[in-house]
Copies of this chain bind each other. A is one copy, B any other.
Amino acid sequence: MNQKSTHVVWEQSLITRQDREALNGHKSFVLWFTGLSGSGKSTLAHAVEKKLFEMGCRTFVLDGDNVRHGLSSNLGFSEDDRKENIRRIGEVAKLMMEAGIIAITAFISPFQVERQSVRNLIPHSDFIEIYCKASLETCESRDLKVLYKKARAGEIKNYTGINSPYEAPLKPELVVDTDALSVEESVITVIAFLVRHGVIAA
């Protein structure tokens, strides 16, 4: 959509992101989980948050539960609405990061172009895309909410993997093979990556 805001010039905050990071004792950044429904994104995002919190980090998970019922409650599941949903989530993740928080998102976010748009909002090294890689078969066999079945039956439109595409990330910062790894192993993989890249302390 177009930039519609005009007459918009405001003063800068007196507290910088660096000030907030210093108070918190850790960096802030965005962990963007992407993958099919049933690929374990949300479970992994919450488990990674728990681990980071136990390490003393300020964290927050943006997921369907707190976004679709609130900020995006006036959006449906058409392609335009799904794009606008991801756009809003990207903007909120950015604000959270600026507030000193490790913002963690867990949305299918199936389209490369949308994820790239979010990436473009955020300084290069602060956007960490994690692809939860699982086969459609695995995801469909999990189908906890019976949504794949409904999509196969044509009862749900635009369901990613069935009647809407999932575009796997081309160059994600990290791939977690959730077909092969347990949740615990996946958490270790993510935390090890963050330590190795110097964004959190061991």
Residue numbers of A with Cβ under 8 A of B are 1-15, 19-20, 23-24, 42-43, 46-47, 49-50, 53, 56, 58-66, 68-77, 81, 84, 88, 91-92, 94-96, 98-101, 121, 145, 147, 156
Contact = CB atoms under 8 A, between A and B. Distances in A.
A58 B24 contact: yes
Nearest to A85: B5
A93 to B, nearest CB: 10
A2 B74 contact: yes
Q: Which 9 pairs between the two chains have the least Cβ-Cβ distance?
A: A10-B65, A1-B74, A60-B99, A4-B76, A71-B91, A5-B68, A14-B50, A70-B91, A10-B64
Contact of A73 (B4, B23, B65): B4
B96 A15 contact: no
A69 B5 CA distance: 7
A35 to B, nearest CB: 15
B73 A3 contact: yes
A5 B58 contact: no
A31 to B, nearest CB: 14
18 contacts: A7-B156, A8-B64, A8-B69, A10-B42, A10-B63, A13-B46, A14-B49, A19-B53, A20-B58, A23-B53, A24-B58, A58-B58, A60-B100, A70-B91, A71-B92, A71-B95, A92-B95, A96-B96
